């Protein structure tokens, strides 16, 4: 069964956005992520900021990238729920770590944080609604 058929068959909250809306939101967020994360990694690579400041960005990026294979490839909803909690938590850590050096990078994470907060509640809801399935 393909991933979309599998996803559509899951029990979901009534407020779940359609997959097309979710995809559109990510298409809007990814350029902001690319620019802000790229800036942070460049500053760390140049030695302008310590790598410890860039660490939550790296963890966030890795966790964000592996979410789709976990959720839709492995179809492991509990692991995807843990992963999205890591994504959410590292956004908070990113904002705290970068604020004093580049507040614009922290502010740029606002829409990302809002969306991941919604996505986290959605993922946890779907995981619990389909527990044992």
What pLDDT shows up at residue 74? Answer: 96
User: What's the confidence (pLDDT) of residue 133?
Assistant: 72
Instruction: Give the tens place of pLDDT for each residue, 68-125.
Output: 999 999 999 999 999 999 999 999 999 999 999 999 999 999 999 999 999 999 999 9
Tell me how many domains the chain contains: 1
6: in domain: no
Any domain includes 62? yes
Q: pLDDT (tens digit, 9 = 90+) per residue, 42-71?
A: 999 999 999 999 999 999 999 999 999 999
What's this model's pTM, rounded to 2 decimal places?
A: 0.94
Q: Do the domain assignments include residue 10?
A: no
Q: Which residues contact 125 (CB under 8 A, 6 or more apart)?
A: 12, 13
Cβ(90)–Cβ(63) below 8 Å:
yes
What range does the domain containing 101 cover?
19-129
Asked if the structure places residue 52 within a domain, the reply is yes
Q: Which residues contact 112 (CB under 8 A, 6 or more apart)?
A: 29, 32, 33, 91
Cα(105)–Cα(82) distance, integer angstroms: 25
In a domain, 8, yes or no: no
Q: Residue 29, Cβ neighbours under 10 Å: how many? A: 17
Evaluate whether residue 48 is within a structural domain: yes
Whether residue 132 is predicted with pLDDT greater than 90 in this model: the reply is no
């Amino acid at each position: 069964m393909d991933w979309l058929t599998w996803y559509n068959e899951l029990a979901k909250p009534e407020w779940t956005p359609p997959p097309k809306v979710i995809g559109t939101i990510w298409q809007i967020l990814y350029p902001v992520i690319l620019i802000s994360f790229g800036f942070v990694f460049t500053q760390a690579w140049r030695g302008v900021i310590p790598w410890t400041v860039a660490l939550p960005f790296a963890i966030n990026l890795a966790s964000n990238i592996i979410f789709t294979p976990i959720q839709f490839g492995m179809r492991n909803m509990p692991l995807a729920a843990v992963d999205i909690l890591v994504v959410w938590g590292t956004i908070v850590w990113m904002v705290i770590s970068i604020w004093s050096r580049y507040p614009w990078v922290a502010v740029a994470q606002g829409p990302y944080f809002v969306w991941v907060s919604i996505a986290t509640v959605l993922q946890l809801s779907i995981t619990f609604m389909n527990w044992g399935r």
